């Protein structure tokens, strides 16, 4: 059955609500195993298995370091969120939950949205692909986007924010994680020559590191795909996969960070 975008969004939201309810029921059940037994069970598993399990968590909220065995979550209202595909704007209800252990509230975002971005994540990935990987200039890139899509200034901000997030904040963390998962893996080489057109040295360096980050992320993606072929993988799911992976590492699930905002971190994770 082929679903149009509104039907697909409704289907994903309903599936997300069902998944959240099931997880909430499991988290609020009494723990039948002691912490010591859980520790023994983890010892019997390899480090790579534990890393892969963390990388594949598809739960849509950040759970900080647990101070209780199972965090008690309660529904905490909803709010309306805009999702723009470039052709149509959608208004989606987003569920909030509150963690009784830490007192924080969390939003359960569907995996086609990126935090603090109104456009869907597939469009964000398309822009970064065309500029950073394919090497298109701004004019040719804009012609590839929907006519009613993002403005040129918005597209430039996306690229700059990805360069700062991937090339500065997240680069070292992904490198360490990949070498832990596959110590003998061959790392990507030099950045492509089309980035030489960038005159500003710091910006060119960050874009080069963001390009390397992208290639390392594909290697991580391939490592997981080879070990778990029954899961659904596709090229356009790289960014949603990375958002899930960041979340499983207790990092903010964001690839795009604007360096102009005072709340943006300055030191790498």
Give per-residue pLDDT as tens, 124-147: 999 999 999 999 999 999 999 998
CA dihedral 145, 149, 154, 155 (to 10 degrees): -10
Domain spans, the chain: 5-44+65-108, 121-248
pLDDT tens per residue across span 150-177: 999 999 999 999 999 999 999 999 999 9
What mean pLDDT do residues 56-78 have? 57
**SS3 of 56, please?**
coil
| Cα–Cα distance, 49 to 35 (Å, whole number) | 20
What mean pLDDT do residues 212-241 have? 88
Place of tokens 């594909």: 218
From first CA to last CA, the distance across the chain in angstroms is: 43
| Cα–Cα distance, 11 to 23 (Å, whole number) | 18
Report the mean per-residue pLDDT for the chain: 81
Q: Which helix (H) or strand (E) holds 239?
A: helix 238-248
pLDDT tens per residue across span 90-129: 999 999 999 888 888 888 888 899 999 999 999 999 999 9
Q: Which helix (H) or strand (E) holds 62?
A: none
């Amino acid at each position: 059955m082929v679903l149009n975008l509104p039907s697909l969004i409704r289907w994903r939201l309903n599936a997300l609500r069902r998944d959240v309810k099931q997880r909430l029921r499991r988290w609020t059940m009494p723990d039948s195993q002691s912490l010591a037994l859980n520790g023994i069970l983890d010892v019997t598993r390899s480090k790579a298995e534990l890393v892969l399990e963390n990388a594949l968590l598809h739960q849509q909220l950040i759970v900080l370091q647990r101070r209780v065995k199972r965090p008690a979550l309660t529904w905490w209202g909803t709010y309306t969120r805009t999702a723009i595909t470039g052709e149509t704007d959608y208004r989606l209800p987003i569920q909030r939950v509150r963690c009784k252990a830490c007192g924080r509230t969390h939003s359960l975002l569907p995996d086609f949205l990126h935090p603090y971005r109104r456009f869907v994540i597939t469009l964000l990935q398309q822009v970064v692909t065309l500029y950073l990987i394919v090497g298109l200039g701004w004019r040719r890139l804009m012609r590839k986007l929907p006519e009613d899509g993002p403005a040129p200034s918005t597209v430039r901000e996306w690229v700059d924010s990805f360069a700062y997030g991937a090339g500065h904040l997240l680069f070292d963390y992904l490198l360490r994680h990949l070498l832990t998962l596959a110590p003998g893996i061959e790392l990507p080489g030099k950045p492509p020559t089309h980035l030489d057109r960038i005159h500003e040295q710091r910006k060119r360096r960050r874009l080069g590191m963001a390009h390397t980050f992208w290639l390392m992320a594909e290697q991580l993606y391939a490592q997981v795909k080879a070990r778990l072929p029954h899961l659904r993988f596709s090229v356009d799911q790289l960014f949603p996969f990375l958002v899930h992976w960041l979340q499983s590492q207790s990092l903010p699930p964001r690839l795009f960070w604007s360096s102009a905002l005072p709340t943006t971190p300055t030191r790498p994770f």
